């Protein structure tokens, strides 16, 4: 994972930016790799995400080392394209013809995957959940809706822990957890989802009482005491995001491959 200890320790680079600016950058990366034709913009986006990771505390070598599963999977995607695409000129053949179109589509697919996954991991690594929550709460959207997002973040570790415990309880009781048929899949889902859901519902009840008891939803608005303030680095991050989107539009207009 790119969300390495080095990134977590670092306070530099994108960690100094407000989570909203980082979220805009993440969206720009997604737009760039999904909206641009060919590999030109995608390669630029890939180099940029590696550079930003390094700037934020993860050395490029470490990023590559920790992201080896992601890289391995992108190579797999490339291979699938190379071996399955028949369009274009045949470059060589070893039983299966390899075409120039297949090679290019494979590189595109692999880069798309790499940029989306690496930029998402970078976003997770450089963003404090509570700062993100605060930023979203101060957006001006009615807090009844934005607070749903904060609660979702609160529930993530809980569900992760409950899931682990339930799976262990199944193991201790010798329940066969392998999935070999639709029936065993259904049973596995029921055995896992039901206990986790029961725990979740109990917790929702407690949280609802806790929130209501402290005046949640009492007024249409609430005080926001602490706000995420914008700094020059945030302007720079948003500017970079706009550049990425502009490059994508230009690539589409001018047919850069």
Q: Which residues bind another protein (CB under 8 A)?
A: 129-130, 133-134, 150-151, 153-154, 157-158, 162, 165-166, 168-175, 190-191, 194-195, 198-199, 202-203, 206-219, 221-226
58: left (phi over 0), alpha (psi -120 to 50) or beta: beta
In the bound state with another protein, the residue whose beta carbon lies nearer, of 177 and 252, is 177
Please, what is the minimum distance in Å from the beta carbon of residue 226 to another protein? 7
In the bound state with another protein, the residue whose beta carbon lies nearer, of 40 and 163, is 163
Report whether 230 contacts 12 (CB < 8 A).
Answer: no
In the bound state with another protein, the residue whose beta carbon lies nearer, of 73 and 192, is 192
| Structure tokens given for 127 | 């963003």
139: left (phi over 0), alpha (psi -120 to 50) or beta: alpha
Please, what is the minimum distance in Å from the beta carbon of residue 113 to another protein? 29
In the bound state with another protein, the residue whose beta carbon lies nearer, of 76 and 158, is 158
In the bound state with another protein, the residue whose beta carbon lies nearer, of 68 and 226, is 226
| CA gap 243, 185 in Å, rounded | 47
Nearest one of 30, 28, 26 to 113, comparing CA atoms: 30
| CA gap 80, 114 in Å, rounded | 15
Please, what is the minimum distance in Å from the beta carbon of residue 110 to another protein? 32
Please, what is the minimum distance in Å from the beta carbon of residue 162 to another protein? 7
In the bound state with another protein, the residue whose beta carbon lies nearer, of 111 and 133, is 133
Question: Residue 91: helix, strand or coil by DSSP?
Answer: strand
In the bound state with another protein, the residue whose beta carbon lies nearer, of 75 and 198, is 198
Please, what is the minimum distance in Å from the beta carbon of residue 257 to another protein? 44
Please, what is the minimum distance in Å from the beta carbon of residue 64 to another protein? 23
How far are the Cα atoms of 33, 47, 53, 126 from residue 248, in angstroms, in the given order?
A: 8, 15, 21, 25
DSSP one-letter string for 199-232? HHHHHHHHHHHHHHHTTTTSSSS------PPP-H
Please, what is the minimum distance in Å from the beta carbon of residue 42 to another protein? 34
* ∠ Cα 138 11 7 (to 5°): 105
Element (H, E) at 66: helix 60-66
């Amino acid at each position: 994972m790119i969300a390495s200890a080095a990134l977590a320790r670092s306070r530099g680079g994108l960690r100094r930016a407000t989570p909203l600016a980082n979220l805009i950058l993440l969206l720009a990366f997604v737009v760039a790799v999904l909206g641009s034709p060919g590999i030109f913009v995608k390669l630029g986006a890939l180099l940029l995400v590696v550079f930003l990771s390094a700037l934020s505390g993860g050395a490029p070598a470490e990023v590559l080392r920790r992201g080896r599963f992601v890289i391995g999977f992108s190579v797999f995607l490339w291979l699938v394209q190379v071996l399955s695409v028949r369009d274009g000129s045949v470059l060589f053949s070893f039983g299966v013809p390899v075409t120039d179109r297949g090679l290019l589509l494979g590189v595109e697919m692999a880069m798309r995957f790499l940029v989306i996954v690496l930029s998402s991991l970078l976003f997770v690594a450089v963003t404090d959940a509570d700062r993100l929550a605060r930023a979203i709460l101060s957006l001006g959207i009615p807090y009844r809706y934005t607070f749903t997002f904060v609660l979702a973040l609160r529930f993530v570790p809980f569900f992760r822990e409950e899931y682990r415990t339930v799976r262990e309880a199944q193991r201790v009781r010798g329940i066969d957890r392998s999935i070999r048929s639709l029936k065993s899949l259904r049973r596995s889902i029921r055995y896992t989802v039901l206990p986790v859901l029961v725990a979740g519902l109990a917790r929702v009840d407690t949280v609802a009482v806790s929130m209501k008891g402290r005046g949640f939803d009492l007024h249409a608005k609430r005080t926001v005491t602490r706000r995420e303030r914008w700094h020059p680095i945030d302007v720079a991050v948003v500017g970079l995001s706009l550049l990425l989107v502009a490059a994508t539009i230009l690539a589409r207009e001018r047919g850069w491959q």
